[in-house]
Amino acid sequence: MKPINLKEKLQQFSAHWHPHRIAEVDDMQVLLAKIKGPFVWHAHPEEDELFQVLQGTLYMRFRNRVETVRQGELIVVPKGVEHCPETRNDEEVHLLLFERKTTRHTGEVNSALTQNHYPEI
Amino acid sequence: MKPINLKEKLQQFSAHWHPHRIAEVDDMQVLLAKIKGPFVWHAHPEEDELFQVLQGTLYMRFRNRVETVRQGELIVVPKGVEHCPETRNDEEVHLLLFERKTTRHTGEVNSALTQNHYPEI
């Protein structure tokens, strides 16, 4: 029940594509992530996933288009929809994610980028 | 699956203490609210509630203390904990809330400020 400062939390890690957990809300979790470059195509068959852009510009690729999500914007990827987040122009982008605690990082896909544990900070 | 711009959404309403729904994530909802002055004491027996401050300073009163939550910060009020959000110095504060769709605005309390419907914008 203490305030959580997003910028202070973001200073506590530097690895890209490695979400860190900052809070829980019922069976959901709030994650922070720093991302850069392309991720991997995946879907979460049972879970929606919210991405809020705190810094930079996120390009959310879907199979038939790309959505540009800027600082101060959010996007919800519905369950089952294949997506591939990426950043461009060598930009590091900071995200807040809101998703179920059961949501796997890259869904059914295993990749060198896949994280199975999100440290709490 | 379109980006949602928080500032644009906030321009679509002006009433204080009347959350508007901008997105859903599984059985949770994302709300925006403009608040000013004191609210009412209440609790949500079964649901946690997350408050992210987008503009201004939120004072989250608990029975034994007050937490100051500034722009760029968030706070989670656990289920069952009595709380009373307020703003000070006549400031309008903008909030993003994550909570269950079942969460009632003022819990078991009925007040002149209680909203039973959150418009979608």
Tell me, what's the pLDDT at A100?
96
Backbone angles phi, psi at B10, to 5 degrees: -65, -25
Write out the two tokens for A51: 């991405």
Percent of chain A at pLDDT above 90?
96
Q: What is the three-class DSSP state of A37?
A: coil
> pLDDT tens digits, residue range A36-88?
999 999 999 999 999 999 999 999 999 999 999 999 999 999 999 999 999 99
Is B5 domain-assigned? no
Output the average pLDDT for chain B. 96
Tell me, what's the pLDDT at B27?
96
Is A22 domain-assigned? yes
> pLDDT tens digits, residue range B78-108?
999 999 999 999 999 999 999 999 999 999 8
> pLDDT tens digits, residue range B58-78?
999 999 999 999 999 999 999
pLDDT at B1 over 90: no
Chain A residues with CB-CB distance to B79 below 8 A = 26
Is B25 domain-assigned? no
Model's pTM, two decimal places?
0.96
Total number of domains in chain A: 1
Min Cα separation A111/chain B (Å): 25
Is A69 domain-assigned? yes
Question: Which of A1, A47, A62 shows the shortest C-beta gap to B26?
Answer: A47
Min Cα separation B58/chain A (Å): 10
Is B56 domain-assigned? yes
CATH number at residue A83: 2.60.120.10
Tell me, what's the pLDDT at A61?
98
Is A19 domain-assigned? yes
Q: Which domain range does residue B88 map to? A: 31-112
Strand residues in chain A grouped as ranges (E): 4-5, 20-25, 28-35, 49-55, 57-62, 65-70, 73-77, 84-86, 93-100
Separation of alpha carbons B54 and B74, rounded Å:
9
Burial A55-81 (b: 16+ CB within 10 A, else e): bbebbbbeeeeebebeebbbbbbeeee
Question: Residues in chain B whose beta carbon is closer than 8 A to a beta carbon of chain A?
Answer: 1-7, 23-26, 28, 30, 47-50, 62, 67-70, 72-79, 81, 98-100
Tell me, what's the pLDDT at A1?
85
Question: Other CB atoms closer than 10 Å to residue B67's CB: what's the count?
Answer: 17
Output the average pLDDT for chain A. 96
Is A121 domain-assigned? no
Q: What is the ipTM of this complex?
A: 0.95
Tell me, what's the pLDDT at A13?
98
Tell me, what's the pLDDT at B52?
98
Is B11 domain-assigned? no
Question: Other CB atoms closer than 10 Å to residue A99's CB: what's the count?
Answer: 24
First to last CA, chain B: 15
